[in-house]
Amino acid sequence: MNILNRIKDKAGKGKKSLAVLIDPDKLQGAVEFRKMLFSASEQQVDYFLVGGSLISKGNLRKVVQAVKEYSNIPVVLFPGSYHQIDGQADALLFLSLISGRNPEYLIGQHVVAAPMLKESGIEVIPTGYLLVGAENQSSVAYISNTSPIPREKTDLATCTAIAGQMLGMQLIYLEAGSGASHPVPPEMISMVNDQLNIPLIVGGGLNTVEKACRALESGADMIVIGNAIERSPTFLNELAAGVAQYNASLNIHE
């Protein structure tokens, strides 16, 4: 089963997925990194997302290789630009920044990436990417030169997500920005989820188990965690336990 169908299948059963974001520029030592990969495998993390708004150290290939070598968790590229493509990955989120009005991130980068992606044979997943939060608070807003949807403008987020689905996008990603002090508000997640029949990913600022579980309860099908795991490797265990408990409480049989 390809990655999109795996995501859809799990979401269709009402089960939640956990993805860990690896920013190749923020790696600590090789030993710590390997430990995290082993621990993620033990904790049954569903996906590794690899990428970042700005990657300058040329580590992407090494990271993808290491993840493949030390875990059997699928690698999904989460590119900040067309430079972040690696054919060894299992899939790529083909992100269109639909909360913004910068043509470069709506279609421009995609045109440059398209022939490389075709050549690589990687699974490409059209994804509507919505940035939520305060103006210029996140790296994504700064680098993409776009205005995020204000946190209280639930209607704007909802209409944008519906438009993304109508345009044929297969996933919607609500992003508060890596390291955000406030995650996407639960009311917004809930309202957006009510209007969609494609899986909803939520990330940014989910730095406690409570915040992560709240996002799941509000309707996220998948949550993405980066910073909190980089800061504290034990957080991954707590978080995975929280997600597993949540899934078990749904009492759904595979």
Query: CA 227, 219, 64 angle in degrees (round to 5)?
Result: 40
- Mark the segment that binds ligand 1GP (CB under 6 A) among 82-90, 103-111, 192-200, 223-231: 223-231
* Phi, then psi, of 195 in degrees rounded to 5: -95, -5
Residue 100 within binding range of ligand 1GP, rule CB under 6 A: no
DSSP state of 90: S
Residue 21 within binding range of ligand 1GP, rule CB under 6 A: yes
Residue 79 within binding range of ligand 1GP, rule CB under 6 A: no
| Nearest-angstrom CA–CA distance, 92 and 64 | 12
- Mark the segment that binds ligand 1GP (CB under 6 A) among 153-161, 198-206, 235-243, 246-254: 198-206
H-run or E-run covering 108: none
Q: Retrieve residue 142's tokens.
A: 């700064």
Q: Which residues contact 236 (CB under 8 A, 6 or more apart)?
A: 20, 36, 39, 40, 43, 45, 225, 229
Among 24, 80, 128, 205, binds ligand 1GP (CB under 6 A): 205
- Mark the segment that binds ligand 1GP (CB under 6 A) among 34-42, 113-121, 161-169, 221-229: 221-229
| Nearest-angstrom CA–CA distance, 169 and 126 | 5
Among 204, 218, 220, 242, binds ligand 1GP (CB under 6 A): 204
Q: Which amino acid is present at 169?
A: M
Among 40, 226, 235, 242, binds ligand 1GP (CB under 6 A): 226
Residue 233 within binding range of ligand 1GP, rule CB under 6 A: no
Query: CA 82, 88, 92 angle in degrees (round to 5)?
Result: 45
Among 224, 236, 239, 243, binds ligand 1GP (CB under 6 A): 224
Full DSSP string of 149-202: BPTT-HHHHHHHHHHHHHTT-SEEEEE--TT-SS---HHHHHHHHHH-SS-EEE
Minimum CB–partner distance for residue 174 and ligand 1GP (Å): 9
* Residue list 159-188, contact with ligand 1GP (CB under 6 A): 175, 178-180
Residue 227 within binding range of ligand 1GP, rule CB under 6 A: yes
Per-position x/- string for 108-127, each x denoting binding to ligand 1GP as judged by CB under 6 A, each - no binding: --------------------
Minimum CB–partner distance for residue 183 and ligand 1GP (Å): 8
Number of residues that bind ligand 1GP (CB under 6 A): 14
> In the complex, which residues of this chain contact ligand 1GP (CB under 6 A)?
21, 175, 178-180, 203-206, 224-228
